[in-house]
């Protein structure tokens, strides 16, 4: 038996067999351990009763599945998939599906927990969930990806649906994959179920504005924070880690709409840097062709993908994976403001270092909540079959993200705590209230 922390003081949680529930070891870098530690601190400040606290530390339910898929060469390969429904006290679960070769159940649990807090902090009537398949999608053909996507839905269909759990795209999944999943679910149900998944192509009930919603929502939050910090975003320099959906859209919005200067972009193959500014549109075209930044002629290449985290800039935007800013490199972060578009990019130890350095941090489940907010808008549009134009989507996204930032900022000022803890106080309190009103605790 292994143990993990219970309470901000890090005391062991007794009588839990972690091996039996799929947690292989107690690891301080484990995303789920980090998620629990963050919750524990908020629970102590909120003076949550022990039953409420313990219910919020664990997923309500989760499903593991083995997915046999016929490959193009005729052999059968068995993939492993998960779906975690963390908490649905405020509404149906909501959260993406990731295809990643290093996917683990603990990562999915952590992401489902953060989705619970994310939907609560932006105050949409949803809970938190997450899914994943252990695979390397870059090695799969389109046909294999489609068969894998459909196999996942066949196994998970019983726990999915507009009133149960609504997935969405995440790492290495796309609108096309969402379309295949929606179609498979519709076949199982015997009628169209466009609203069972979001992030779909527009002809199948997708929403205008969903493509750049994560990045745009983060920019809206950053604009509110910059007013308080008296930071001129148009004259600011930016370093971005990750050039997928969130990172590339953030770079484009920063350059085209804010007038800012993107000086560095880090990707899996390294970092490209130009102190005078990168041509983000040319870099996007290069990235589409090569799936990396190596070889881009508009800047100097560094073979370290994390080098972008330590370069001189005003705003640092981690938009890749979890656990990128740690105790080892946080002291070398030079940014004034940190906008977390990735999920869990900063460890608790790094948080403390950044706070001591005076870095204004905009935490992930606030900063990247634009995606789930527009996904919620997509669910609403699917439910009544009337679709909004882009201006209306962006207007309502701005309203939601601004209100969320102000709630977090007020909590930070009231309790004199950093923004991440303030966001937890807002979100956890809302979920706990719903649980109590329903009579769960």
Last residue of a domain, one of 161, 182, 204: 204
**Helix, strand, or coil (residue 216):** helix
For residue 344, the model assigns a pLDDT of 86
Q: Is the pLDDT of residue 348 over 90?
A: no
Question: First-to-last CA distance in the chain?
Answer: 28
Same-domain status, 177 and 308: no
- Which single residue is written with the structure tokens 């207007």? 395
**Helix, strand, or coil (residue 37):** helix
What is the mean pLDDT of the segment spanning 290-306? 92
Question: For 254-279, how does the pLDDT look when each residue is reduced to its tens digit (9 = 90+)?
Answer: 999 999 999 999 998 999 999 999 99
Same-domain status, 133 and 239: no
- Which single residue is written with the structure tokens 């923004």? 419
For residue 27, the model assigns a pLDDT of 61
Q: Is the pLDDT of residue 1 over 60?
A: no
For residue 100, the model assigns a pLDDT of 94
For residue 29, the model assigns a pLDDT of 72
Of 28-37, 294-303, 426-435, give the range with the top mean pLDDT: 426-435
Q: How many CB atoms lie within 10 A of CB 300?
A: 11
Would you say residue 1 lies in a domain? no
For residue 336, the model assigns a pLDDT of 95
- Residue 183 maps to which CATH number? 3.40.50.10860
For residue 28, the model assigns a pLDDT of 59
For residue 204, the model assigns a pLDDT of 96
Task: Kindly state the percentage of the chain with pLDDT values over 90.
Answer: 88
Cα 240 from Cα 257, distance rounded (Å): 17
Catalytic residues: 130
**Helix, strand, or coil (residue 238):** strand
For residue 372, the model assigns a pLDDT of 94
Q: Is the pLDDT of residue 342 over 70?
A: yes
Question: Which strand (E) or helix (H) includes residue 275?
Answer: none
SS3 content of the chain, % helix, strand, coil (to 5): 45, 15, 35
What is the mean pLDDT of the segment spanning 248-259? 97
Q: Is the pLDDT of residue 3 over 70?
A: no
Q: Hey, CA dihedral for 138, 143, 148, 150, is it positive or negative?
A: positive
Domain region containing 340: 213-367
Band of residue 16 on the pLDDT scale cut at 50, 70, 90: very low
Whether the CB-CB separation of 152 and 135 falls below 8 Å is answered with no
Q: Is the pLDDT of residue 42 over 80?
A: yes
pTM: 0.88
Whether the CB-CB separation of 131 and 81 falls below 8 Å is answered with yes
Measured at the CA of 95, the angle between CA 289 and CA 92, to 5 degrees, comes to: 155
Would you say residue 84 lies in a domain? yes
Q: Is the pLDDT of residue 209 over 60?
A: yes
Q: Is the pLDDT of residue 295 over 60?
A: yes
Q: Is the pLDDT of residue 286 over 80?
A: yes
Same-domain status, 163 and 132: yes
For residue 9, the model assigns a pLDDT of 30
Q: Is the pLDDT of residue 8 over 60?
A: no
Same-domain status, 223 and 300: yes
Q: Looking at the 3D structure of the chain, how many domains does it have?
A: 2
Q: Is the pLDDT of residue 397 over 80?
A: yes
Q: Quote the tokens at residue 115.
A: 């989705």
Last residue of a domain, one of 182, 204, 226: 204
Question: For 107-149, how does the pLDDT look when each residue is reduced to its tens digit (9 = 90+)?
Answer: 999 999 999 999 999 999 999 999 999 999 999 999 999 999 9
DSSP 402: H
Same-domain status, 219 and 188: no
For residue 108, the model assigns a pLDDT of 96
Calculate Rg over the CA atoms of the chain: 21
Would you say residue 337 lies in a domain? yes
DSSP 143-172: HHHHHHHHHHHHHHGGG-BTTTEEEEE-TT
Same-domain status, 78 and 96: yes
Q: Hey, CA dihedral for 88, 91, 92, 97, is it positive or negative?
A: negative
Same-domain status, 232 and 303: yes
Question: For 350-394, how does the pLDDT look when each residue is reduced to its tens digit (9 = 90+)?
Answer: 999 999 999 999 999 899 999 999 999 999 999 999 999 999 999
Mean pLDDT over each residue of the chain, to the nearest integer: 91
Q: Is the pLDDT of residue 19 over 50?
A: no
Whether the CB-CB separation of 340 and 350 falls below 8 Å is answered with no
Would you say residue 26 lies in a domain? no
- Residue 345 maps to which CATH number? 3.40.50.720
The backbone torsions φ and ψ at residue 24, rounded to the nearest 5 degrees and listed phi first, read: -75, -30
For residue 171, the model assigns a pLDDT of 85
Last residue of a domain, one of 310, 342, 367: 367
Question: Which strand (E) or helix (H) includes residue 271?
Answer: strand 270-273
Same-domain status, 229 and 330: yes
Same-domain status, 72 and 137: yes
Lowest mean pLDDT among 11-25, 279-293, 313-327, 374-388: 11-25
Band of residue 343 on the pLDDT scale cut at 50, 70, 90: confident
């Amino acid at each position: 038996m292994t143990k993990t922390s219970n309470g901000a003081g890090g005391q062991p949680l007794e009588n839990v067999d972690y091996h039996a529930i799929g947690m292989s070891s107690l690891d301080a870098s484990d995303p789920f351990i980090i998620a629990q530690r963050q919750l524990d601190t908020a629970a102590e400040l909120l003076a949550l009763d022990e039953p409420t606290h313990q219910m919020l530390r664990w997923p309500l339910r989760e499903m593991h599945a083995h997915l046999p898929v016929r490959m193009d060469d005729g052999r059968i390969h068995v993939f492993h998939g998960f779906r975690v429904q963390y908490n649905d006290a405020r509404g149906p679960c909501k959260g993406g599906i990731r295809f990643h070769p290093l996917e683990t159940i603990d990562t999915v649990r952590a992401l489902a927990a953060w989705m619970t807090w994310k939907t609560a902090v932006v105050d949409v009537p949803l809970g938190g969930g997450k899914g994943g398949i252990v695979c390397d999608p870059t090695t799969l053909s389109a046909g294999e990806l489609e068969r894998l996507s459909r196999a996942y839905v066949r196994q998970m269909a019983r726990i999915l649906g507009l009133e149960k759990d609504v997935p969405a795209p995440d790492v290495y999944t796309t609108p096309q994959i969402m379309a295949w999943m929606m179609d498979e679910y519709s076949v199982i149900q015997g009628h169209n179920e466009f609203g069972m998944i979001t992030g779909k192509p527009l002809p199948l009930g997708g929403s205008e504005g969903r493509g750049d919603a994560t990045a745009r929502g983060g920019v809206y939050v950053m604009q509110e924070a910059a007013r308080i910090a008296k930071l001129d975003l148009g004259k600011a320099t930016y370093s971005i880690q990750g050039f997928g959906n969130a990172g590339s859209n953030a770079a484009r919005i920063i350059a085209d709409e804010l007038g800012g200067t993107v000086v560095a972009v880090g990707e899996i193959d390294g970092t490209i840097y130009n102190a005078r500014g990168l041509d983000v549109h040319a870099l996007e075209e290069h990235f589409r062709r090569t799936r990396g930044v190596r070889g881009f002629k508009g800047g100097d290449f560094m073979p370290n993908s994390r080098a972008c985290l330590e370069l001189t800039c005003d705003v640092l935007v981690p938009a890749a994976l979890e656990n990128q800013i740690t105790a080892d490199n946080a002291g070398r972060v030079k940014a004034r403001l940190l906008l977390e578009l990735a999920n869990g990019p900063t460890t608790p130890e790094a948080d403390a270092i950044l706070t001591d350095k005076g870095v204004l941090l905009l935490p992930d489940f606030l900063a990247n909540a634009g995606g789930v907010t527009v996904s919620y808008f997509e669910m609403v549009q699917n439910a009544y079959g009337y679709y909004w134009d882009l201006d209306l989507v962006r207007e309502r996204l701005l309203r939601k993200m601004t209100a969320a930032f102000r709630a977090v900022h007020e909590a930070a000022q009231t309790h004199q705590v950093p923004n991440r803890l303030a966001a937890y106080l807002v979100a956890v309190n809302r979920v706990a209230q719903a649980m109590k009103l329903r009579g769960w605790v």
